[in-house]
Structure 1
Amino acid sequence: MDGTGTGRLGLDPRVVERARRLAARAAEPIIEMARTHTTVSVERALLRLAGLSGADPAGRPWVNHLVDAVRAQVGIEHGVALPVWDALTAGPHPGLRELAEAASRGEARFRLPAGPDAERAREAARRAARAGIDRIDARRAERDRLLRDVGDPPHPWIYLIVATGDIYEDIPQAVAAAREGADVVAVIRSTGQSLLDYVPEGPTREGYAGTYATQDNFRLMRAALDDVSAELGRYVRLTNYASGLCMPEIAALAGLERLDMMLNDCMYGIVFRDINPRRTFIDQRFSRQIHARAGIVINTGEDNYLTTADAVDAAHTVIVSQLLNERFAHEAGLADGLIGLGHAFEIDPALPESFRLELAHAQLVRELFPHAPLKYMPPTRHMGGDVFAGYLLDAFFNLAGVLTGQSIILIGMMTEGIHTPWLSDRDLALANVRYVRDACGGLAEDFAPRPGGLVVERARRVLGESVELLERICDDGLLTAIGAGTFGVTRRPPDGGKGLDGVAERADGYFNPAGEILDAEPGAVASVPPAASAASAASEQEVPA
């Protein structure tokens, strides 16, 4: 290095630029695969945007019945739009719901229309898809108005989870958390929902270690948080999870119900839920296009790698995944202000200099992605039964977050290593982060790592290791790297896992009017302010975006 590095860490801009070029190269075959394939969930998402909702008495959604029927008769490689709207324009069914009901009874017939029939079906499908996109646009405009009228809290946003399994219990807990200082409320999903190839319907009260993600649950929680936002004079954001086998559908529902953030990582479902890699990457592109249109901040899941791999040895895999996530997000139309890249405070506290190493990693991420609303996750792997040590460790995490200008801080719970935290534990956690944030004030302005010191050298080393790994991925392919256990240690082969049977290569003439609109009209500028902070300001204009 020639001493002309940028930011507080003195990163070499040429190395940063090379890392991004390599990430783009590594991502390109995956992007091409996503552009040339479809899945049952992508096709079901189109039907949801067109207004089809509800389920049969057994709970099977009508979108599943309709897509399954089309798939059985003509396949989905041409998309379901032409067969479905051909049946609507030519048949006796007055709407999508009636057609789906007939399909569930085996009474609907589908074909691939041609000539004038195909054109009539195509125009009808476009009108239906446009109506759904217009509804998402209206909800985004609603958020923009509320942010102006109610007020937007400054960074870092305090992020808190509720997850009782019962939406009617979640709501009062979420409202109480907002009153105690939470800026973002996340309703964690019921265990195993990501493995369901359908989205449950209606308000639910029977989740396990979480609450089912449904359109009605989204609507109920959004209304409650809007009420408390007006009471508090600051907009409280709502988060859920767009991952798993129904990623595109849940993204569509989130856009329709004005959620603000969605967990949406390019590899989390592959590594930690054994969902087929091809299915995941195809679904995530369409879901991110929806998020871009809706102005929804995505949260990525790199923090999870450090629960299975060593946080020091695997630090570079976090950076590589973040660079890949950034590239996939940009290609899908997401602006930097909507790309909430994840990382975590997971180094073993018994390791000498552990806090300095954590600062190096956190500052490196901040300087690599100066405009991204970074989501920083608290210690979990090394939290045990000593609640006093846990509370202290969470305070160090909060200090690292404030000192390095993180954008979203998920509060740590001192008892999470023992049991599901109580409400009193949540109050203590909120008090912890409030104290650190208020006591530190603008301390980030004074954080200047010594050139040649441990923090600077550690950050440069991790960046160098990231470049080396990206070079190998470019040579071998990202699917091969995932199969070899590069991320989170777990090996996931390209043709293994759940959901591959729901993937189809697009045929000539494939038609999805929602995808057509989203490709032609990518997401506009984010309604969320960029993640400017004292710790990142020095590098914002110098590190390539």
Structure 2
Amino acid sequence: MALLDLDPAVVATARRLAAEAAAPVIGIARSHTTVSVERATLRLAGITGADSTHRASDVPWVNRVVDTVAAHCGLEHGVCLPVFDALRRHDLTSLTELAEATAAGQVTYALPTGRDATRAAKAARTAIAKGLRTVDRNRAQRDKLVERHGDPARRPWIYLIVATGDIDEDVVQAANAARAGADIIAVIRSTGQSLLDYVPEGATHHGFAGTYATQENFRIMRAAMDDVSKEVGRYIRLTNYASGLCMPEIAVLAGLQRLDMMLNDSMYGILFRDINPIRTFVDQRFSRQVHARAGIIINTGEDNYLTTDDAVDAAHTVTVSQLLNEHFAHEAGLPDHLLGLGHAFEINPKLPDSFRLELAHALLARELFPDAPLKWMPPTKHMTGDVFNGYLLDGFFNLAGVLTGQSILLVGMMTEAVATPFLSDRDLALANVRYVLDAAGGLAEDFRPAPDGLIVKRAHQVLGEAVDLLERVKADGLLNAIAEGTFGLMKRPADQGKGADGVIAKADDYTNPAVDLLEEGATR
């Protein structure tokens, strides 16, 4: 039931402006590729493993191949034709063999023409289609397991983080969290992995403030969560991060290993990791096409804006970003039920009526995106060493989530400001969530904000400010708006940032069967 009486014409205007602001950027994303898109394509085609000649600095085979193709004949035509032509010319049986020969300096890449190009394109499409069939089987398997084990009996789903740095220890903590009531396990990535222009190989045990996102780590955790799903009688979802310089590759690995959710925001890497804007928009379009194919729910990162900007003054920038993320996602083929738009409980608790304002912002997101599995983030910015006050604040956050019908509730930690030192913190945090859900889970049935009260007026104000900002973004251009610090106060010019040298304008005859197959399977 709509509680805010939002004007449908204003909502339609906001969506139209978001689409118009996003259109030039989508055009750029369609006309460019990146080294990470090309590597992701070869991963779908089956390349795995790394060059372990120098054990201290293993280089993934896919990096060896793409870098060599770029050096020999460029990437503007795509990596597929040179690679699959070389595979045939050298009479090799696998891409891994080709990578080994490439590292040994035994392969010269060139762009084939005529019949050779036709053969290479056909071979590439066959290999990539096989990879996508694995993604499709995993999606079907998820559906079967959800039917077999069941989903949580109530919403919101409880989302809890593990982040030890050691995948084996993560498994222990994740299993215990699921037994204690968590529905979604998020494995935080090791600090700085988003800035690595390669994906590490194998199981890892040495991450700092998180665990490396690798295909083997994904496989290990997915298998463990499947086991605990049987034990607890509900399907436990697994989350990781498709962001940073390897966003498309990690999206592919998630699809190949049946992850269920991935953090994947259109602007987070630009604003908070200083990754080149063009690189990010190209990569995120491809990654979202993969997520759409895999049935993976994406989580966007609007909550981060409120850690660098004021949660009241900048509330409309969250709404603008949500609308942009929605349009980028739809254009890439993601339907609403896979669109986990983000927002957060970050208003200064000392501000009068702070809880009422939080309700207004959360209700606005809920009513603007009624079919999206919204991800509601707990307080972090105003948490202190006072763990008792923090525990109370997390309780208010949980109550706001219940009252406003949030879909995914990230569990807040009362020790947020002191680095979560104790394992018992998670148990206490889950107890807080369980109490609120049990005591007030149906309270939304009775919650009706006054039509002329602060909550409704504030929601209308934020939506109006969002429309005004979208008008300016459309007029100035989204890339210029980002460069000027419109979102999260971060100024990121389009011609700067990490990874800019990995962006390539497509030639007229650019060939990538992965793009074609994903477009054919899109739900637009």
TM-score range, shorter-chain basis? Answer: over 0.9
- Aligned CA-pair RMSD: 0.9
Q: Secondary structure at the match of 2:112?
A: coil
TM-score normalised to the size of structure 2?
A: 0.98
How far apart are 1:523 and its partner, in Å? 4.9
Give the stretch that moved more between structures: 391-400 or 96-105: 96-105
Q: Secondary structure at the match of 1:452?
A: coil
Q: Secondary structure at the match of 1:414?
A: coil
Instruction: Find out whether 1:35 has 2:30 as its counterpart.
Output: yes
Q: Matched residues in 2 for 1:420 and 1:245: separation? A: 28
Please tell me whether the aligned partners of residues 255 and 290 of structure 2 are also in contact (alpha carbons under 8 angstroms): yes
How far apart are 1:245 and its partner, in Å? 0.1
**Residue type of the partner of 2:151?**
D
**Residue type of the partner of 1:400?**
A
Q: Matched residues in 2 for 1:82 and 1:149: separation? A: 43
Q: Name 1:470's counterpart in structure 2.
A: 470
Q: Matched residues in 2 for 1:166 and 1:344: separation? A: 29
Instruction: Find out whether 1:309 has 2:317 as its counterpart.
Output: no
Q: Secondary structure at the match of 2:416?
A: coil
**Aligned residue runs from structure 1 range 155-174, under 5 A:** 155-174=155-174
Q: Matched residues in 1 for 2:422 and 2:471: separation? A: 46
**Per the alignment, do residues 473 and 143 of structure 1 end up closer, same or farther by CA in structure 2, a change over 3 Å counting?**
same
Please tell me whether the aligned partners of residues 413 and 420 of structure 2 are also in contact (alpha carbons under 8 angstroms): no
Q: Matched residues in 2 for 1:21 and 1:133: separation? A: 33
Q: Name 2:45's counterpart in structure 1.
A: 50
How far apart are 1:521 and its partner, in Å? 1.2
Q: After superposition, what is the alpha-carbon deviation per residue over 1:498-534, rounded to whole angstroms, capped at 9, x for unaligned? A: 001000000011011111100111159xxxxxxxxxx
**Residue type of the partner of 2:74?**
G
**Aligned residue runs from structure 1 range 18-97, under 5 A:** 18-57=13-52, 58-97=57-96
TM-score normalised to the size of structure 1?
A: 0.94
Q: Name 2:116's counterpart in structure 1.
A: 117
Q: Name 1:219's counterpart in structure 2.
A: 219
Q: Secondary structure at the match of 2:343?
A: strand
**Residue type of the partner of 1:161?**
I
Identify unmatched segments of 5+ residues in structure 2: none
Please tell me whether the aligned partners of residues 21 and 474 of structure 2 are also in contact (alpha carbons under 8 angstroms): yes
Q: Name 1:527's counterpart in structure 2.
A: none
Instruction: Find out whether 1:439 has 2:434 as its counterpart.
Output: no
Q: Secondary structure at the match of 1:201?
A: coil
Instruction: Find out whether 1:11 has 2:10 as its counterpart.
Output: no
Q: Matched residues in 2 for 1:300 and 1:68: separation? A: 31
Q: After superposition, what is the alpha-carbon deviation per residue over 1:430-456, rounded to whole angstroms, capped at 9, x for unaligned? A: 000000011002111111110111000
How far apart are 1:420 and its partner, in Å? 2.8
**Residue type of the partner of 2:50?**
A
Q: Matched residues in 1 for 2:298 and 2:314: separation? A: 23
Q: Matched residues in 2 for 1:442 and 1:459: separation? A: 23
Q: Name 1:151's counterpart in structure 2.
A: 150
How far apart are 1:94 and its partner, in Å? 2.1
Q: Secondary structure at the match of 1:185?
A: strand
Please tell me whether the aligned partners of residues 61 and 198 of structure 1 are also in contact (alpha carbons under 8 angstroms): yes
Q: Secondary structure at the match of 2:418?
A: coil
How far apart are 1:263 and its partner, in Å? 0.2
**Aligned residue runs from structure 1 range 229-378, under 5 A:** 229-378=229-378
Please tell me whether the aligned partners of residues 293 and 523 of structure 1 are also in contact (alpha carbons under 8 angstroms): no
**Residue type of the partner of 1:431?**
A
Q: Matched residues in 2 for 1:345 and 1:72: separation? A: 48
Q: Name 2:132's counterpart in structure 1.
A: 133
Please tell me whether the aligned partners of residues 89 and 120 of structure 1 are also in contact (alpha carbons under 8 angstroms): no
Give the stretch that moved more between structures: 486-495 or 104-113: 104-113
**Residue type of the partner of 1:147?**
V
How far apart are 1:325 and its partner, in Å? 0.2
Identify unmatched segments of 5+ residues in structure 1: 1-5, 525-545
**Aligned residue runs from structure 1 range 173-212, under 5 A:** 173-212=173-212
Q: Name 1:142's counterpart in structure 2.
A: 141
Q: After superposition, what is the alpha-carbon deviation per residue over 1:192-227, rounded to whole angstroms, capped at 9, x for unaligned? A: 000000000000000000000000000000000000
How far apart are 1:98 and its partner, in Å? 1.1
Q: Matched residues in 2 for 1:511 and 1:34: separation? A: 15
Q: After superposition, what is the alpha-carbon deviation per residue over 1:231-275, rounded to whole angstroms, capped at 9, x for unaligned? A: 111000000000000000000000000000000000000000000
Q: Matched residues in 2 for 1:334 and 1:292: separation? A: 5
How far apart are 1:90 and its partner, in Å? 1.7
Q: Matched residues in 2 for 1:131 and 1:441: separation? A: 45
Please tell me whether the aligned partners of residues 222 and 258 of structure 2 are also in contact (alpha carbons under 8 angstroms): yes
Q: Matched residues in 2 for 1:223 and 1:319: separation? A: 37
Q: Name 1:533's counterpart in structure 2.
A: none
Count matched residues. Answer: 519
Instruction: Find out whether 1:519 has 2:493 as its counterpart.
Output: no
Q: Secondary structure at the match of 1:262?
A: strand
**Residue type of the partner of 2:20?**
R
Q: Secondary structure at the match of 1:250?
A: helix
Please tell me whether the aligned partners of residues 363 and 404 of structure 2 are also in contact (alpha carbons under 8 angstroms): yes
Q: Percent identity?
A: 70
Q: Secondary structure at the match of 1:298?
A: strand
Q: Name 1:410's counterpart in structure 2.
A: 410
Q: Secondary structure at the match of 1:417?
A: helix
Q: Matched residues in 1 for 2:205 and 2:523: separation? A: 35
Q: Matched residues in 1 for 2:319 and 2:190: separation? A: 29
After superposing on structure 2, the runs of 4+ consecutive aligned residues of structure 1 that deviate more than 6 Å are: none
